[in-house]
Amino acid sequence: TPYPPGGDMPDPYKRMMDPYVSLMAAAAVTTTLKLGTGIALLLERELFSQAKTIATLDRLSNGRVIIGTGVGWNEEEFTNATHLPWQRRYLALKETVLAQRELFKAEAPEFHGELIDFDPVWFDPKPLQADGPKVVLGVMGPLGVKHAAQWADGWMPVDVAMGDIK
C-alpha cells in the first residue's frame, strides 16, 4: 500500500516502540500528564491481551490513559496482523472498542457483534477510569468522521498531520 502523502514511508514509522510500554515509562516519571497513543492500531492486536495491557496501564498511571486509535491505511500490514476483513475495518474497530468497553466495566463481560463475538469471561483488573479510557478516533474523510461522531469519545483529524493526501 503506498504511503498516503506519497513518497517513501518515513523511517520513524518503521522504528516505533510499543506505545503501551513507552507510555508506562512516561507514567513512571510523571504524576499529572495525560498519557495517550497517537494512533494505536487496536485491530492489529489480540483483543483480550490488549485490553488487559490498557487496563493495567490505566491502573498503574492512576487513570491517565487516553486511547487514540484508527483503522490504519496499510492493507498488507492489516491482513498480516488480523483475520478481520479489510473492507469492514470500520465496523471491526467499532466493535473492538465497544467490546473493550464491556471488558472494562462489566462483571462478566460478553459481546456479540457481527465480527467480534465472545461469551461471558473473567476480566480483571479493570481500569481506574470508570468506563475505561476515552477513545479518540484518528481518521479522515466523511466515513471516518461519521464513525468518530457515532461511537468515539473524540476525533483526531489525521489528514491535517499527513499533509496533502494524493
pLDDT digits (tens, 9 = 90+) for 63-81: 999 999 999 999 999 999 9
Calculate mean pLDDT across residues 79-91. Answer: 96
At 59 the three-state DSSP class reads: helix
Q: What is the pLDDT of residues 115-151, one digit of tens each?
A: 999 999 999 999 999 989 999 999 988 999 999 999 9
Determine the 3-state secondary structure of 24 from DSSP. Answer: helix
Give this prediction's pTM.
0.92
Instruction: Output the CA–CA distances (angstroms, integers) from residue 32 to 35, 52, 79, 126, 134, in the order listed.
Output: 9, 22, 38, 20, 16
